[in-house]
Amino acid sequence: MSVHARLRATVPAPMPSSQAGPPEITGLPGRRLLVQRSDDEIVAQPLDDAFVARAGGRVGFPAPWPRSRGTWEVAPDASLAVFAGVHAVRAVDPSGATRWEVRHGCWYGACREMHEAYDEYADRQNHRYPESGSVGFSADGRLVWAHVRGPLSEGELSPDTADEWLLIDAADGRVLARADAEAAAAGSIHLPHPTDPRQMGLSIGEGQDGAPLRWGRWDGRELTVDCLDGDLCLLGLSPSGDRLMTVSHDQDSLAVRDSRGAVVDALDWNAEAAIPRHPDAPAATDSDAAEDEDEAELDVCWDWAGGFLDETTLVASTAECDEEWGQGRHWLVDTTGRHGFVPIDYPSPVSSEPTALGGGVWSTLSETRDVLHVWGLHRREG
């Protein structure tokens, strides 16, 4: 069996690729946004169910610092943008006014200053490429989860705390809870539980040192953080929020887990065992096996990309390891075991990894990085 991708929509970027980062489609079905960040602003455009821009819905958020100095997120209703910068987390409304700000330690590792403004370090050479945290809105938009470098302006959790995980009231910036993230990040991303605003996933990258994965729960008074075992990159959550899609830091293993980190129903796949060699790659020989095993690389590895199309179906890719031989491959993964791993055929070559959007669809970015293509499935036997 093979699976053919059917083009559902072509979504042009709101800004030229020469002036901004790549466009993204965020949000759940029924509340999708097309968002793009330049050095000067974030543009957010609500999309309908056919991924067509809603008339009169476009909103712009003036940016407090360049996009190379942090990460950002837009509220589900496009009423607020939150910027996770080098020295602070700042919420900005469409007028450009600062709704609130939470200052924290500097993300440039050797700096111990508590900066009050971006201008203090804007021209410092050693602050040009800082590490970074991230922010994420809860499903209802009322909470902001923020991964920051400690300490906060009012002090540390403990002398040994490097990174903190904060829960912030999106309306007024009150810090509702703090926890030790037990990491020293180079970067991170948040993935919200799709239905429960009190739960959030935090995937942390420590460069070559590892990839800690955290799961947060808020009961209205206390923030509880589970440290999931292993170095895992969190790629997506199922529509129910009960299942997580992860890829190991070494890119060997793709798995479906629960929020405690346990693999669900033995859904754990080694790349070399699950995926055939690229059709254009030379066949393995005995001499290949005789090479120094310490330097030998995997023929196949998972990309840190993909997600859930529905509760039991994943989209994954092996484009990174495939590029040496030819066209990168995307895979449909049936976790019920009926079909297993099936290559996805496109009507024309795609040049990016897949991004799952839920509702049975996913997107790819054009080679010029100025158009998103939204795909659905059309099955055929062959």
Q: What is the mean pLDDT of residues 153-172?
A: 87
Task: Give the model confidence (pLDDT) of 329-361 as tens digits.
Answer: 999 999 997 777 899 999 999 989 999 999 999
**What's the one-letter identity of residue 202?**
L
Distance CA 94, CA 79 (A): 7
Alpha carbon 157 to its chain centroid, in Å, reads 27
Task: Give the model confidence (pLDDT) of 195-214 as tens digits.
Answer: 999 999 999 999 989 999 99
Task: Give the model confidence (pLDDT) of 274-318 as tens digits.
Answer: 998 888 888 765 455 445 443 344 478 999 999 999 999 999 999
Dihedral sign, Cα of residue 196, residue 77, residue 223, residue 268: positive
Q: Where are the domains of the chain?
A: 24-299
Tokens of 27: 């949000």
The architecture in CATH of the region 24-299 reads Beta Barrel (2.40)
| Greatest alpha-carbon span in the chain | 66
